Chain A
């Protein structure tokens, strides 16, 4: 089984992110592997353990994104590839999908490509299905459980309406969600291996494609309006007294 996990590097979820001088700033907060993509790596490693094979972590990003790939290696991925090119600074999701599809083809012979559900920075959740469309492969989205049998995969999709079981032939694109299980921590051995790993960098000319022209572009950045909430703490002798006061307050808000 040859599995590719697509990961991105993003500012840590705890970072104080804000718009500043027309740019997004996150101070000195660290850049980390997109937390949703850790599930993709975890899902890929689980399948490798069950079926044998290899896991390749794949990322489009600047040179510094190698750190995110090293995290995947430390978790247990066998190899990592960075796609990096100055012409890729303004990628939209369709563009990312085209570049990822070209890289997936260059890696070759993949049976499954695993994605996270969405990025923390852009948060679109579009790239997995778009990559599937570009490749012409089936899309098994929001998989919380994966079972491979012969040449097909059956996943349990975690949807608002409940769980849906969906099956498709391989090769297929999957996006993996938290029900797959908590991502494993990098082992000591894994961290050592990752620190020594040589991560190849592919440019657009290595992939044999031109930079996709972005269709979606940002025109302005804003900080959300600050909500001035003054909190009123409700106190009283007994729960009944507190409830009485709180009920009156809620009714006075006219939201019922």
Chain B
């Protein structure tokens, strides 16, 4: 059984669930890592360190900027010549697009957001969420190769063995890009919510501290965002102390309090950390579907009737501007930091 694992990265910054896909591939047999981009030697070497049996690298200036068309064509060509049974991807905006197109080329299909994958002879049965995760389906793909994008933290991550070496084979890029990348707006350091073991999230409630007086000359909206930033500073302090990432509800993102990269939920990231602390988040269904698989959920909300409490292991009815800093202090003391 030969599986391709597409290692997704953004300018060399690797999507960690690529390694979960690699671990899964190895459980079925031979795992061939596939790396595309420009100057991606390090990515290829890291794939060997995570246990890839072999790495195929298309290192080409035309692949420097991700474009779905060229990435899909390069993958389709490789699949046609190497004949893998299965191609695994982490689930990202990029992999959804390129897998979608490659499936058209290869006359096969893509199973997205897969949380379980069982081998069944030459075939595979995938479990994936439908209807916003309200229902799960088992699904099969009769085409070859079978393509699946896996959900982050649904499969164990293989060990990293620094310096482990192996065969890296250069392959050609294929296809013609139909678009040009004009540029990127400055983004903050990568927010890797999908991979985070601990997430502390803020919602619309982070802007609700009437006792804070914003600097003079701000209109109402600016004052709201300013207040929200004070709230998110508290959320961030706690996240940092616990070694976690900062998440947000869509209301916080739409309010301009924080960037979309932080959004948890149906239209943001679906996450499954060990600990999720929701601060000033009401618990709308679209938020819940993004985080209800967290092992331990803590909710801090002023409103005792907020639906988030029904999902939570621990709940505090109170003002996040008081509870969150107090929790940070208590944790500091107890963890000896």
Contacts and interface: CB of A to CB of B under 8 A. Distances in A.
Interface of A: 11, 13-14, 16-19, 24, 26, 36, 92-94, 97, 117, 120-130, 132-134, 137-142, 154, 156, 158-169, 172, 177-179, 215-224, 227, 229-235, 239-240, 242-244, 246-251, 253, 255-256
Given A24-B130, A161-B190, A216-B109, 9 more contacts: A13-B286, A94-B104, A140-B179, A160-B190, A166-B181, A169-B178, A229-B313, A239-B322, A246-B316
B119 to A, nearest CB: 15
Nearest to B141: A216
A222 B135 contact: yes
Interface string B215-249: 00000000000000000000000000011000000
Contacts of B323: 239, 242-243
Nearest to B94: A159
A110 B269 CA distance: 33
* Leading 4 A-B pairs by shortest Cβ distance: A162-B187, A138-B178, A243-B326, A216-B109
Contact of A250 (B127, B132, B188, B314): B314
A255 to B, nearest CB: 4
Interface in B58-101: 68-69, 72, 92-93, 96-101
Interface-central residue, B13, B96, B310, B315, by most chain A CB under 10 Å: B96
B116 to A, nearest CB: 11
Contacts of B10: 160-161
A247 B316 CA distance: 12
Contact of B143 (A139, A215, A253, A256): A215
B172 interface: no
A244 to B, nearest CB: 5
B69 to A, nearest CB: 7
Interface string B280-308: 00000110000010011110000000000
A97 B104 contact: yes
B183 A253 contact: no
A159 B179 contact: no
29 contacts: A14-B285, A18-B135, A36-B267, A124-B110, A126-B100, A127-B100, A129-B96, A130-B100, A130-B103, A130-B104, A132-B68, A132-B101, A161-B10, A161-B13, A162-B188, A163-B184, A166-B180, A216-B140, A220-B137, A220-B138, A221-B135, A230-B313, A231-B315, A232-B314, A232-B315, A234-B316, A251-B334, A256-B243, A256-B275
Given A224-B133, A234-B315, A164 B184 contact: yes
B182 A166 contact: yes
B107 A215 contact: yes
Contacts of B286: 13
Contact of A125 (B112, B243, B322): B112
Contacts of A248: 334
A138 B292 CA distance: 37
A233 B275 contact: no
B125 interface: yes
Contact of A121 (B110, B131, B198, B261): B131
Contact of B182 (A26, A142, A154, A217): A154
Instruction: Name A's interface SS.
Output: mixed
Contacts, number: 257
Contacts of A232: 313-315
A132 B105 CA distance: 12
A253 B242 CA distance: 14
Contacts of B212: none
Contact of A160 (B93, B103, B295): B93
Nearest to A129: B100
B112 A142 contact: no
Nearest to B295: A255
B178 to A, nearest CB: 4
A16 B275 CA distance: 27
A120 B285 CA distance: 13
Given A126-B110, A221-B136, A232-B314, A163 B185 contact: yes
Contacts of A220: 137-138
B113 A123 contact: yes
A222 B327 contact: no
Contacts of B188: 162
B318 interface: yes
Contacts of B208: none
Interface string B7-34: 0001001000000000000000000000
Given A93-B110, A161-B184, A123 B329 contact: no
Contacts of A141: 68, 93, 97
Contacts of A218: 137-139
A167 B178 CA distance: 9
Contact of B310 (A160, A164, A231): A231
Nearest to B186: A162
B80 to A, nearest CB: 15
B184 A129 contact: no
A126 B96 contact: yes
A246 B298 contact: yes
A64 B46 CA distance: 52
B155 interface: no
Contact of A231 (B111, B312, B334): B312
B259 interface: yes
